[in-house]
């Protein structure tokens, strides 16, 4: 008979989202599962998250995120550990400071409005796909600058071929790589083309510092720490590519789920309509969307030092997995966890509970918290505020199902009917 570990693994493949929560209920906070050489240890729940975040010295990221290297490059922040990680994060941090992100708001707004301007009352649109285009444009403009953004369609198409690797399961990715199958070859060719474009732009920026813009690439080229250290060309390339991989798919997925929830909850839509992007009403909608549909369903670590948790020994070499999705759907933390309830984020609500970083972790926490968390959150708030102000939508009957491991997206998109499009205020 199959072992409990094998049964859990097959169930995860069959229904990976709800099975995570069920597995926690059946087996507790520590679940060891796998099949053959594929072995995982899940640490589930808020206490497990807190342990992992507080004991980062027990883990390494490189081995856990090795599958990302063909996409992000060898020196990307997400595959870095120890001193190299601290150094790269320190040099990147100014590009994601709150003051810098405030400079990006007009770009977010302009690209959201460009999408909305194309809608006509009475038509049905795929809101996920539509805002995905806006987010891709904004991401390319703000990461790469005006010169590369002028060829946004070509660059975006090549990047998508690279990002398609994220949807492959580890075994599928291994087979693609081992046998050089078409998906793998197309992705590597696209990555080489994107790398060439980025290297050309880095060379141009270094030769023309007077033309530096407010984009992330300019900030990384100019970055220097107190010791005079700078990022190499390879490091800069890897950071901007990894930011695309980590941010573009996840942010557009989060926006799709937000529209799906709001179009079916008009009372929340009306409550926030007309509010500026930084209003608490808009921020609460985004927080609730990220709670209910965290794009990163799971996050991995490699166990570098043996440890004990909840009475279980976790040996060196284990592939460790934590899950924001599980934590965000536990009733002991979030009453009625499957209900879209933005008011749970209102501090004036009776019984309000401010979640800890171990309870609400759409961008992880600790030393490896996503460096683009504020960038993504502000972008979602800006796009959502424009949608709420300018458009009236109604739902279209459809079955919404999640898909994707790198970013949990709404399969088949989010179909909505456009009832009204308003001009909106220029702010």
Q: Which of 126-135, 359-368, 401-410 has the lowest mean pLDDT?
A: 401-410
Q: Residues 423, 426, 427, CA angle at the centre, nearest 5°?
A: 140
Q: Quickly tell me which residue has 């490091």 as its tokens.
A: 235
Average pLDDT for residues 4-17, to the nearest whole number?
A: 64
CATH architecture of 4-421: Orthogonal Bundle (1.10)
pLDDT digits (tens, 9 = 90+) for 121-135: 999 999 999 999 999
Query: In terms of pTM, does the model score above 0.85?
Result: yes
Average pLDDT for residues 81-105, to the nearest whole number?
A: 92
pLDDT digits (tens, 9 = 90+) for 329-351: 999 999 999 999 999 999 999 99
Task: Spell out the SS3 assignment of the chain.
Answer: CCCHHHHHHHHHHHCCCHHHHHHHHHHCCEEEEEECCEEEEEECCHHHHHHHHHCHHHEECCCCCHHHHHHHCCCCHHHCCHHHHHHHHHHHHHHHCHHHHHCCHHHHHHHHHHHHHCCCCCCEEEHHHHHHHHHHHHHHHHHHCHHHHCCHHHHHHHHHHHHHHHHCCHHHHHHHHHHCCHHHHHHHHHHHHHHHHHHHHHHHHHHCHHHCCCCHHHHHHHCCCCCCCCCCHHHHHHHHHHHHHHHHHHHHHHHHHHHHHHHCCHHHHHHHCCCCCCCHHHHHHHHHHHHHCCCCCCEEEEECCCEEECCEEECCCCEEEECHHHHCCCCCCCCCCCCCCHHHHCCCCCCCCCCCCCCCCCCCCHHHCCCCHHHHHHHHHHHHHHHHHHEEEEECCCCCEEECCCCCEEECCCEEEEEEECCCCCC
Q: What pLDDT is stored for residue 5 in this prediction?
A: 60
Asked if residue 186 has pLDDT above 50, the reply is yes
| 306 touches 316 (CB < 8 A) | yes
Q: What pLDDT is stored for residue 50 in this prediction?
A: 97
- Residue 78 to residues 229, 250, 303, Cα–Cα distance (Å): 20, 15, 16
Asked if residue 7 has pLDDT above 60, the reply is no
Q: Which of 64-73, 160-169, 206-215 has the lowest mean pLDDT?
A: 160-169
What is the C-alpha to C-alpha distance for residues 375 and 245, in angstroms, rounded to an integer?
14
What average pLDDT is seen over the chain? 90
CB atoms within 10 A of CB 427: 11
Q: What pLDDT is stored for residue 12 in this prediction?
A: 67
Asked if residue 40 has pLDDT above 60, the reply is yes
Q: What pLDDT is stored for residue 13 in this prediction?
A: 64
Q: Quickly tell me which residue has 């941010």 as its tokens.
A: 247
**359: which residues sit within 8 A by CB, 6+ positions away?**
46, 49, 327, 333
Asked if residue 4 has pLDDT above 70, the reply is no
- The pair of structure tokens assigned to 86 is 């601290």
Dihedral, 91, 95, 97, 101 alpha carbons, nearest 10 = -170
Q: What pLDDT is stored for residue 291 in this prediction?
A: 98
How many Å separate Cα 189 from the centre of its chain? 24
Q: Which of 103-107, 171-175, 183-187, 396-400 has the lowest mean pLDDT?
A: 171-175
Q: What pLDDT is stored for residue 1 in this prediction?
A: 45
What is the C-alpha to C-alpha distance for residues 339 and 322, in angstroms, rounded to an integer?
23
Asked if residue 3 has pLDDT above 70, the reply is no
- Looking at the DSSP bridge assignments, the partners of residue 60 are 302
Residue with the larger pLDDT of the pair 305 and 69: 305
Asked if residue 72 has pLDDT above 80, the reply is yes
pLDDT digits (tens, 9 = 90+) for 318-331: 999 999 999 999 99
Asked if residue 166 has pLDDT above 80, the reply is no
Average pLDDT for residues 224-229, to the nearest whole number?
A: 85
Q: What pLDDT is stored for residue 10 in this prediction?
A: 64
What is the C-alpha to C-alpha distance for residues 195 and 158, in angstroms, rounded to an integer?
10
């Amino acid at each position: 008979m199959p072992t409990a570990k094998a049964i859990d693994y097959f169930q995860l493949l069959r229904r990976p989202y709800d099975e995570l929560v069920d597995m926690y209920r059946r087996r507790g906070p520590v679940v060891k599962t796998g099949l053959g050489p594929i072995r995982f240890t899940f640490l589930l729940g808020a206490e497990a998250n807190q342990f992992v975040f507080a004991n980062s010295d027990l883990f390494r990221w490189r081995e856990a995120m090795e599958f990302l290297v063909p996409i992000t490059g060898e020196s990307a922040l997400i595959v870095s550990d120890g001193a190299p990680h601290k150094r790269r994060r320190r040099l990147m941090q100014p590009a994601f400071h709150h003051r810098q992100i405030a400079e990006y708001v007009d770009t977010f707004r302009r690209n959201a409005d460009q999408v909305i301007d194309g809608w006509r009352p009475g038509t049905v649109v795929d809101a996920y796909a539509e805002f995905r285009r806006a987010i891709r444009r904004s991401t390319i403009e703000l990461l790469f600058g005006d010169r590369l953004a002028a060829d946004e369609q070509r660059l975006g198409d090549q990047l998508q071929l690279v990002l398609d690797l994220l949807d492959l399961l580890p075994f599928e990715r291994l087979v693609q790589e081992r046998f050089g199958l078409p998906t793998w070859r197309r992705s590597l060719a696209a990555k080489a083309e994107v790398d060439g474009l980025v290297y050309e732009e880095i060379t141009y920026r270094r030769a023309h510092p007077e033309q530096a813009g407010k984009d992330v690439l300019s900030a990384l080229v100019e970055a220097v720490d107190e010791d005079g250290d700078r990022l190499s060309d390879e490091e800069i390339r890897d950071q901007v590519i990894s930011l695309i991989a980590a941010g573009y798919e996840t942010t557009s997925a989060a926006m799709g789920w937000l529209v799906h929830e709001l179009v079916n909850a008009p009372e929340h839509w009306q409550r926030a309509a007309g509010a500026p992007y930084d209003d608490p009403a808009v921020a609460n909608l985004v927080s609730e969307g990220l709670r209910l549909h965290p794009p990163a369903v799971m996050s991995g670590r490699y166990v570098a030092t043996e440890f004990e948790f909840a009475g279980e020994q976790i040996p060196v070499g284990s592939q460790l997995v934590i899950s924001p999705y599980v934590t965000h759907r536990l009733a002991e933390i979030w009453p009625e966890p499957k209900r879209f309830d933005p008011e749970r984020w209102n501090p004036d609500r009776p019984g309000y509970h401010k979640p800890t970083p171990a309870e609400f972790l759409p961008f992880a926490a600790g030393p490896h918290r996503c460096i683009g968390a504020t960038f993504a959150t502000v972008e979602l708030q800006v796009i959502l505020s424009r949608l709420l102000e300018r458009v009236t939508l109604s739902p279209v009957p459809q079955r919404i199902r999640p898909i994707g491991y790198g970013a949990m997206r709404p399969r088949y998109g989010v179909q909505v009917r456009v009832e009204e499009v308003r001009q909106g205020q220029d702010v």
